[in-house]
Structure 1
Amino acid sequence: MKILLTNDDGFFAPGIKAMAKALIKENHEVIMVAPEFENSGKSHSITLTEKLNFNKVKIKGIDCPCYSVSGTPADSVRAALHVFGHDYFDYCFSGVNLGYNAGMDILYSGTVSAAVEANVFGLNSIAVSAEYARDQTQFKAAAKIAIDVFNKLHDKTDRVEVLNINVPKLSYEEVKGIKVCRVGGSVMDQYKAEETENGLALSLTMRKPSSDIDKSDRLYLEKGYATVTPLIYDLNNMEEIEKLSKFF
């Protein structure tokens, strides 16, 4: 398969290198197109008023074409599809991200948003994230599990969708299994406030404790499972449209 590989940590990040090596080992034709700089938490933002620089880069140990984009993760996908053609790629991988993109954090994730952007253009995709563990983050294990999920599920859907994968900080052999589940958990919304001359300086610190939804991604991750959550790009609430239409 022809795979578009991107991320939000930047083309130089260890996670995307691990994912590239895993895909190449599976004999896929991989083209990496990723942000020039780290873009964590940029969600689905795109560049509107500035030019995007699309440059070829060399990454030691990675045997596939690699390009950097001076924009966001979503920009990287858009640029790749423009340069290579909207029908060139068969699938999109985004990651492996440094840190979970589970629960409501997916709303802010550049990693997931890059995968969703591929969906906008009709391309199925997988977003992959590994639990943060400083220099012990299990990128290789996460990449291998993503390949397992891809091999089992990539041709099992008749809709364009994202498979959002999260993997705990365990070796491949230590992961208890793979659970397909729903999104759960609270939003990261706790700030540390410091007074400044003109007001306050707010630093994002943590999330409120929450009782996770049964059979949710965060619950299974805590128990040592990798999780798969199907996400569909569709902003239409058809049930509500039909309900509200009756009033007009």
Structure 2
Amino acid sequence: MARILITNDDGFQAPGIRALAPVIAELGHDVVVVAPLDDQSGVGSARAGVVNRPIRTVVEEQDGVSYRGVAGTPALAVTLATVGAFGPAPDLVLSGINRGHNIGVPIFHSGTVAAALTAAGQGISAVAVSIEGAAPAHWATAATMAGEALAWIATEPVGAVLSLNVPDLPLDRLAGVRHATLTPITRERLIATTAPTGEPMITTRPADPNPPAGTDEALLHAGYVTVTPLTGIRALPDQDAAYALAKRLSAYR
């Protein structure tokens, strides 16, 4: 079996990570849990200001699993684990279970997804798993699906990443599992308003009741587990355009 790093962006005491780790350990994997000390939702891949300084850590034991909290972001937790701060580097990374879905183009803001992409950037395949709803009841469903996704991604080329969104339903009530595209977002869904203090504020319009077919938003609301393969930072394939731009910029030397 593999050595699995489990992390999240909700904090090392969050119910999602506490539901996920025992399930993966019961599958026979060597589980190491490293996650933020507190809620780091929406921080993306931030990890600035951590070089050459000690990083506070706290360890708690529960049901035979050690949960390590670090004073920092999910991306930092992954980086620490993959460079050997807590023993051998992991073979694979699981990020979650995030409370609330991670759907659509804005997932690049998600600390849960960013943790998976950080692993991929270091040549380790990863799954980011999220469950629908602000107060989910069926963590076990998402944990089971995460275990299935982990088995699949272990057979893929290194650096593969999946974003998995799971309805908050009992396992036997899921509609199925479907590949999903990311729901597009337009500026019309974001509104600039003014707070009572006079400061600018952003709010959102209600979600589209009929999102595009085949997107993660549409399929998740229909009761499907959505699976979206992701890629991190990569070079553009159009070499001719890149060479032309490089030649143009060379005039500024």
TM-score, length basis structure 2 = 0.86
**Mapping of residues 100-119 of structure 1, within 5 Å:** 100-119=101-120
CA contact (8 A) 2:37 2:58 kept: no
Deviation, 1:204, is: 3.9
One-letter code of the match for 1:119?
Answer: A
Deviation, 1:120, is: 1.1
CA contact (8 A) 1:167 1:226 kept: yes
Q: Which residue of 1 aligns with 2:194?
A: 193
CA-atom RMSD in angstroms: 2.3
Where 1:173 maps in the other structure, the secondary structure is: helix
CA contact (8 A) 1:12 1:59 kept: no
Deviation, 1:167, is: 0.5
Superposed CA offset, 1:141-171 (max 9, x none) = 111011122223430x235121110001211
Where 2:208 maps in the other structure, the secondary structure is: coil
**Mapping of residues 1-248 of structure 1, within 5 Å:** 1-48=2-49, 51-61=53-63, 63-82=64-83, 83-84=85-86, 88-134=89-135, 136-155=136-155, 157-186=156-185, 189-190=190-191, 193-196=194-197, 199-202=198-201, 204-206=203-205, 209=208, 212-239=211-238, 241-246=239-244, 248=247
Deviation, 1:132, is: 1.4
Where 2:173 maps in the other structure, the secondary structure is: coil
One-letter code of the match for 2:154?
Answer: H
Q: Find runs of 4+ consecutive structure 1 residues off by over 6 angstroms.
A: none
Q: After the TM superposition, which of the residue ranges 207-216 and 172-181 deviates more from structure 2?
A: 207-216
Where 1:145 maps in the other structure, the secondary structure is: helix
Q: Distance in 1 between matches of 2:86 and 2:22?
A: 21
Where 2:65 maps in the other structure, the secondary structure is: coil
TM-score, length basis structure 1 = 0.88
User: Which structure 1 residue ranges, 5 or more long, are not aligned?
Assistant: none
Q: After the TM superposition, which of the residue ranges 39-48 and 179-188 deviates more from structure 2?
A: 179-188
Larger-gyration structure (1/2): 2
Aligned residue pair count? 241
* CA pair 235-201 structure 1, distance change in 2 beyond 3 A: same
